[in-house]
Chains A and B, each alone.
Chain A
Amino acid sequence: MARYDRAITVFSPDGHLFQVEYALEAVRKGNAAVGVRGSDTVVLGVEKKSTPKLQDSRTVRKIVSLDTHIALACAGLKADARVLINRARIECQSHRLTVEDPVTVEYITRYIAGLQQKYTQSGGVRPFGLSTLIVGFDPHSEKPALYQTDPSGTFSAWKANATGRNSNSMREFLEKNYKETSGKETIKLAIRALLEVVESGGKNIEIAVMTHKDGLRQLEEAEIDEYVAEIEAEKAAAEAAKKGGGASTSASS
């Protein structure tokens, strides 16, 4: 019987953990995911690849809830995600049982990140190939939170972040256009970021909104289409304004 206690993730001579870096590659090939934090709302958006005709799309949920006040979206290997999400859900309930208080977003993020790190330092296992975006509200608090973890097990809080395919361009867009928003504006910002890299249309995007009062709400396709239409209109108006201004300056010179 082969011995499964030898580490798979070992250091390279120049200090890299190649397995972890390869896992990050796997994440970069996963579908795009974006998270934006507002003052009273937090939004998760995920790229939805075209569903095959015979597939029941309801069973392919990309944005899941870990507890009534915490939600998660991820990019990378979906099977790994399932395992991680199950463990996180158990931990949420276990925390409720031992401390009689729901988890804070930071606690569950720390737990997931700790789990991801454990698998980079154990024998016979490979790292999880996914990065997660975790959003939620701390119990007894109305402030939303957004955290990101990655296969190496690091985590940090963000105002807005993206992972998965073309995450760099999404992040650049967010850095340029982020401002403290609330309610619908937050949703629009998330959709705009996603539209940078995804084909426009309600059937290619999945959006979920979390508020302190109403918890997690997945937006319907029709709603998303509405937002997309609004955004396109705004974009067109902005273009027109630019063109108009440009034309006048060129005319005057």
Chain B
Amino acid sequence: MLLLLFRLSFLSFFPSLSLSQHFAPTGTKPHQRISVSLNFKQRKQREEKRRMMMKLDTSGLESFSAAVPSAMAAAEDQLFAPPSFDLPAGCADFDKFQMEAKQTLKHAKGTTTLAFIFNQGVIVAADSRASMGGYISSQSVKKIIEINPYMLGTMAGGAADCQFWHRNLGIKCRLHELANKRRISVTGASKLLANILYSYRGMGLSIGTMIAGWDEKGPGLYYVDSEGGRLKGNRFSVGSGSPYAYGVLDNGYRPDMTVDEAHELARRAIYHATFRDGASGGVVSVYHVGPNGWKKLSGDDVSELHYKYYPVQPTPVEHEMVDAPPA
């Protein structure tokens, strides 16, 4: 009885480990000690084989169920037939696993995005670099997501998370339109997204996005993140390069700018962020959201912008280098 109980507890925690560790190790082959993921049928076959062997070799150490009529064994097998898989890597120390998981994600917010409202609408701008630690994995990521013809979302954090949930938001906005015969407001769309993200709070989503659009109430801009936070505002910048972008943006912002001035300001702000922040770079995309929807204004390579803003000046040389006279 004791043996049976021990097997009970043993099996429930380590379903795929070899049973030979419990029963007479001497007669077993080496490979049976390795824990492998077998399907149920294979495990049953192995158990059968082992039982057969045990009947021959180790009658004294036979399992209780083998001595008992097969109904008991069948029941036990049904009870203790968990799906065979190895325990995932982090289960031993879950807190450490969570911390490590968050660390691996942290680099992914390497980006610079910004958006601001002015009298003529909303300007949305972003860089296009994706980095994994010190490795630049892409210079051409689309970080401004077109939710629908009059609403834009920016991407910062996990690219997959942002893309999927923005697309999902686009679906919900369209369904709202169809059901209510009118467009959803930016307030409503951002609230839908924020509520969804709040329900996934703590599960490892990494999203720092801005929802920008033009609705009945005029231009709208909201910041929504994966912690479930949602802020309404006039100027936002998100990402590792945001401090640099804020510096330029806050300095040059005026609510009565023209579209061209606002365009240039956004472009400059992103450029300066890419200059100083290693995790931002690539191409600056700038969009404008007006009463008739959004329009992409420009996509400029950052390195070209650098030479446009700071053209190479011929500088006087202090010491002229001359060829060494031939010996």
Contacts and interface: CB of A to CB of B under 8 A. Distances in A.
A99 interface: yes
A98 B180 contact: no
Given A104-B180, A106-B180, A98 B216 contact: no
Contacts of A104: 180, 182
B191 A100 contact: yes
B180 A101 contact: no
Contacts of B188: 98-101
Interface in A88-105: 98-101, 104
Nearest to B188: A99
A107 interface: yes
Query: Which size class do B's interface residues fall under?
Result: 10 to 19
A99 B192 CA distance: 7
Given A101-B185, A104-B180, A140 B216 contact: yes
Interface residues of A, dominant DSSP: helix
Nearest to B182: A104
Contacts, number: 25
A107 B180 contact: yes
B184 interface: yes
Contact of B184 (A99, A106, A107): A99
B216 A99 contact: no
Contact of A99 (B181, B187, B217): B187
Interface in B179-221: 179-182, 184-185, 187-188, 191-192, 195, 216-217
Contacts of A140: 216-217
Interface in A68-121: 98-101, 104, 106-107, 110
Interface residues of A, number: 9
Contact of B187 (A101, A106, A110): A101
Interface in B216-233: 216-217
A100 B216 CA distance: 14
Contacts of B184: 99
Contacts of B191: 98-100
A245 B187 CA distance: 63
A98 B230 CA distance: 13
Contacts of A99: 184-185, 187-188, 191-192
A140 B183 CA distance: 13
B232 to A, nearest CB: 10
A193 to B, nearest CB: 30
Contacts of A106: 180-181
A104 to B, nearest CB: 7
A110 B178 CA distance: 13
A140 B195 CA distance: 24
Most chain B CB within 10 A, of A100, A106, A140, is at: A100
A99 B183 CA distance: 12
25 contacts: A98-B188, A98-B191, A98-B192, A98-B195, A99-B184, A99-B185, A99-B187, A99-B188, A99-B191, A99-B192, A100-B185, A100-B187, A100-B188, A100-B191, A101-B185, A101-B187, A101-B188, A104-B180, A104-B182, A106-B180, A106-B181, A107-B180, A110-B179, A140-B216, A140-B217
Q: Which 8 A-B pairs have the closest CB atoms?
A: A99-B188, A100-B187, A100-B191, A140-B216, A101-B188, A99-B191, A98-B191, A107-B180
Given A98-B192, A104-B180, A106-B180, 18 more contacts: A98-B188, A98-B191, A98-B195, A99-B184, A99-B185, A99-B188, A99-B191, A99-B192, A100-B185, A100-B187, A100-B188, A100-B191, A101-B187, A101-B188, A104-B182, A106-B181, A110-B179, A140-B216
